[in-house]
Each structure stands twice: as C-alpha cells, then as structure tokens.
Structure 1
Amino acid sequence: MRLAAFGSDRRAQLRLSTLPRIGGLASIPSRADDIAVVLSRIVPQVERLYLFLHGYTEVPAAARHPRVVPILAPPDTPYRASGKFYGLKQQTMPCLYFCFDDDILYPDDYVQRMTAGILRYGGKALVGIHGTDYPGPGTRYTRDRRGFHFRRRLSFDRLVDELGCGTLAFASTLIDVDPRRWPYGDMDDLMLAIEAQRQGIPRIAISRRRHSLMPIHEAQPDSLWVRTVADDSRQSAQLAELHQLLGRSRTPAAAPVVPPTASWPAAPGR
C-alpha cells in the first residue's frame, strides 16, 4: 500500500489547518514529580489540554492553568492510559487531537510537526512517532514485533500496524474513538490499532530526526510495558484479532471480551 494514496488536496489542508489544537494526557501519581516539566513543554502548543489524573487525590499545582482541564479519576477506573482520549468526547466541534504521555519530553515544535503530518495526508490517517509492525502471523505481542522507537531517526514516513498513543495525532472527525467500548483501558496502542483497522484507517509513523523526543524515564516498575513484558497473554489474544483484520492469520481470533461497565468520570465545570 503506497502512502501517496492518502495524499491531500490544498482545500483539505486549509480546512484542517484552521481547526483548534486540543491535547489529551493521562497521568498516574508516581509521575507527579515529572508532570510540571511535561506540561511546560506541551501546554503552550495546544489551545486546551484534557489532563486525566488517574488515582490522584488532588490536582497538581502545575495543572492549575487556564488551558488545562484536569479530571480527577478514581484509582479503580478501568481507563488508565486510555484516559488521554477523554477530551474527544468533551469536544463538540471538530479539532486536531494530540495525545501525550507523562514520561516523555516533547520538543517545542512537536504539535507543529504533527500537524504537518496530519495535513500531509489530508486528515485521512492517524499519524505518530512511535510505531510497531507485527510481520507474519506471530502470536506473542512482546516478541513478534518490529519497533520504530520515538527517539530513533526515521528517514521516511511509513505505514505501520500500530502507533504508540503517547506520540499520536489525528483529526477528530477521522475516527470514532471511545475506550468505553474497548475490553481493556490499559492497552490503548493495540486497541486503537484494532479500531482503526476495522474502520479502514491507516496508521503512519512520520519521519523525524534522532532524539527529537526523549524519555524522562523508561521501564519504570509501574509502567504498562513492564507489566506487559511480565505477562502479555491479554495483549497476545488481542493481537490475534489484529492479525485477522490484517489478513495475516487463518486462525479465528478469540471471542471479544465484554467491555467494562464503568463510565467516564464526570466532566469538570468550566
């Protein structure tokens, strides 16, 4: 599949370029010491940032900003990392939506570069920095993969199977994303890849220079990736569904897991 097939005309680019830039970030209390520096990098780049504070008992001082909409979510909510999509359901008008993580240092021109990626494909693709391919019908989520890490150089845009949601951007009108329909709220990269493939939406890792983004920490004991490496059985079951959607497997995927019944926390007043 050629990337040129997703090219854009000038009219579509102009329309998209006028949309507001809205961000979504999910954080956990163990990253509270880093949230100030992360917010200092990204808040100036967006018109509004929805900050999903999973397990926090109070709003951090750094989040008390007119552009930040903090959401205190209880520890038992099933929406952890996927809380970064909370803001999509709060926006009543189209926007360009940017997802962030609480342990990455983003450059000052990050939103600008991601916007250029959205415009390059006319808003018809999810674009991101951190990408993963799952070549062949491999069955293990953590083993049978080829990754394109966000801190590494990528010379050319390329189609990938999965994008990391911490370095993701898209036009809000492109895809219907609602983690309340997902069986899990702690594996948003894979669940979004499945959702996008069902809707026929390509995922594109865009070109970048080396070290354009840098991790603050990696492999923290409470990170989702560390937990996945220890036991990737749930993710591997979902990977079978992605393989089936991609036409790479003759083995039927497992029956879908019933989504949790919990709802989003109430939206704060503005």
Structure 2
Amino acid sequence: MSKIIFSLSSIQPRRENLNLIIPNILKQCDKLYVNLVGGDNIPQISNHPKIQVNQFDKAGSEIRFFNYNDIDDDSYYFTIDDDILYPLDYVRVMVDHMKKYKNKSVCCVHGSIVDLNLRSDYYRQNRIVYYFPDELSENTQVNMPGVGTSCFYKKNVNLNIKDFIVPNMSDPYTGCFLSEQNIKKVAIKRKKDWLIQLNQFNKAIWGNNPHDEIDKVINHYKNHLINETSQNLKTRSGYEESKIYYWSTRIKGVYAFISGLKFREIREEILKIQGRQE
C-alpha cells in the first residue's frame, strides 16, 4: 500500500497554528515532517511517533522538499503550509484525483496561470489565481501549483531541494521543474472553504515574492511552459476577477488585525469546525 507522507514548514510567528493543523493531518498520514524555521521552541504537539522534526535557522518555503528523496517511490508526498486548515477528507480526495491521472500529474488546490505572452512581471501582471478557499467547478490545468496545497507521487516526479536556488520561490520553481518533465499540474475541483485560511487571524506574510528572480526562472523554462499550458490562458475579465478576490482577502486580513481579533478566540472557532468534521 502506498505511503502517505506530509511535509510542513513553519515560521516562528505562525507556530501556534500547528495546534490547529496537525491533528487532522496525523489522522490521515503515515509520516509528517515538521520543518521549523527560526526560533528554538518545539511545539509539544510535535512529540508524536509519526512526526519527524527538522530545525533550521534560516530557510524558505522550499524546505518542505528537504526529505523528498528519503521516502519510498510508492509514496504520495503532500506539501502543506502553516496557515491553512486541511479537512479530514484531504488525503482521500487528493489521492482520488491523483489516481484519475494515473499518478502522472501533480494535483493541487491553489494554483495559477501566468501569461506567457509577457516577457517580465509574470507574478505582477495578468496572472489568474485559483485561490484555495474558493470553489472550483472543474479540474483546471495550471502552470504554477500552490506548493502548500500540492500532492506528488514520488516515483513519477523528480525533485531535489538543491535545485531551489533562490529561497521562497517554491511555486515557480516547482511549476517549471514539472513542465520540464512534462508533468501536468491540475487544480482540483472543490467546494468553497474546503480548505480554511488561517493567516488573516494570526501572522501573515505578504509581498515576499522576489519578482526579478521569478522572471529569470520562468524565462529559462518558458518553452516548456508554453508547450504545456498556453491553451489555458484566460480572458482579461478572468484576470480582473482574480485581482478583485486577491485584494478582498487582503482587506479582510487588515480588518481582522485592526479590529483586534484575538488568536485565542479564532482558535476556539476552528476547534469547533474540527469537531464538526469528526
């Protein structure tokens, strides 16, 4: 039977989120790698036989692939974030979609399509984003998977953390590496709020994309990306709808901060949601 492996990275300001995220994951996995970046404290919830803790003084989002080549080929490798609550049917649904593609694609919830007609500013101009909290009515091919919501079948996907040269570029690097291997990336259909965003209730990190470096990587792999997904580029209206949602979520986050919402109060609400899922 295939192994179910999860890998999570967590920065110090969002460490409390692990108390919300990890319980659902442990019920669905064989092993969970918890990669702690910065800070000395190890959350008590990480003291579990299924969990291996790795500590790093500095690392980017790519650290979720630190143990990728340590696992068996017959394994599903899930990379997750420390600001998303994943449901109890996450593995079942994701693996079902993986099997539809004979484990030869990478399935994600969050994903985007960059406009390959551009020569630069791929992440700042006319990018369609399928945000993970949103409903998606059908499986949709993307060229940039959201690595925090992605599933890989180890035997069919070659990835090496050493190739992620610039930190915090895991989405564009992964999208380009997969295109080079002719591996399709699919954002799966789902209902609204199947995954729940936590960052607006605690610490959020926005605007950290190193755009110049992203442009270099995408231009280097551009021919592979064009061959794979150019037919999926949408109309201008699709881009505008995506931008409207992006900024609406950011405004909600700022409002939550200004209103003085306490993480403890939000934690209680999330725990209620977890109870309903069980």
Place the TM-score, normalised by the shorter chain, in its bin.
0.7 to 0.9
Match of residue 67 from structure 1: 50
Match of residue 144 from structure 1: 126
1:133 to 113, 120, 134: 113
Match of residue 119 from structure 1: 99
Note the C-alpha offset of 1:117. Answer: 1.0
Match of residue 215 from structure 2: 236
Match of residue 37 from structure 1: 20
Matched residue type, 1:109: D
Match of residue 266 from structure 1: none
Between 135-144 and 178-187, the greater mean CA deviation after superposition: 135-144
Match of residue 267 from structure 2: none
Q: Secondary structure at the match of 1:32?
A: helix
Note the C-alpha offset of 1:219. Answer: 10
Matches within 5 A, 1:6-85: 18-75=1-58, 79-85=59-65
Q: Do residues 180 (structure 1) and 180 (structure 2) align?
A: no
CA gap 1:211/1:221 in 2 versus in 1, 3 angstroms: closer
Structure 1: runs of 5+ lacking an equivalent: 1-17, 249-270
Q: Does the CA contact (< 8 Å) of 1:52 and 1:73 recur in 2?
A: yes
CA gap 1:168/1:85 in 2 versus in 1, 3 angstroms: same
Cα separation, 2, equivalents of 1:128 and 1:181: 21
Q: Does the CA contact (< 8 Å) of 2:136 and 2:188 recur in 1?
A: yes
Q: Point out the structure with the larger helix share.
A: 2
Identity among equivalent pairs (%): 23
Cα separation, 1, equivalents of 2:70 and 2:47: 19
Q: Does the CA contact (< 8 Å) of 2:116 and 2:226 recur in 1?
A: no
Between 232-241 and 63-72, the greater mean CA deviation after superposition: 232-241
Matched residue type, 1:91: I
Matched residue type, 1:167: T
TM-score (norm 2): 0.76
Cα separation, 1, equivalents of 2:204 and 2:196: 19
Q: Does the CA contact (< 8 Å) of 1:179 and 1:185 recur in 2?
A: no
Between Structure 1 and Structure 2, how many residues are aligned? 225
Q: Secondary structure at the match of 1:173?
A: helix
TM-score (norm 1): 0.78
Cα separation, 2, equivalents of 1:35 and 1:69: 14
Cα separation, 2, equivalents of 1:193 and 1:172: 16
Q: Secondary structure at the match of 2:207?
A: helix
CA gap 1:220/1:146 in 2 versus in 1, 3 angstroms: farther
Note the C-alpha offset of 1:247. Answer: 3.5
Q: Does the CA contact (< 8 Å) of 1:58 and 1:72 recur in 2?
A: no
CA-based RMSD of the aligned residues comes to: 1.9
CA gap 1:227/1:220 in 2 versus in 1, 3 angstroms: farther
Cα separation, 2, equivalents of 1:236 and 1:245: 15
2:89 to 103, 109, 112: 109
Note the C-alpha offset of 1:25. Answer: 0.5
Cα separation, 2, equivalents of 1:142 and 1:196: 22
Note the C-alpha offset of 1:227. Answer: 1.7
2:186 to 200, 204, 208: 204
Structure 2: runs of 5+ lacking an equivalent: 228-278
Cα separation, 1, equivalents of 2:74 and 2:34: 19
Matched residue type, 2:46: A
CA gap 1:185/1:211 in 2 versus in 1, 3 angstroms: same
Note the C-alpha offset of 1:91. Answer: 1.4
Between 91-100 and 124-133, the greater mean CA deviation after superposition: 91-100
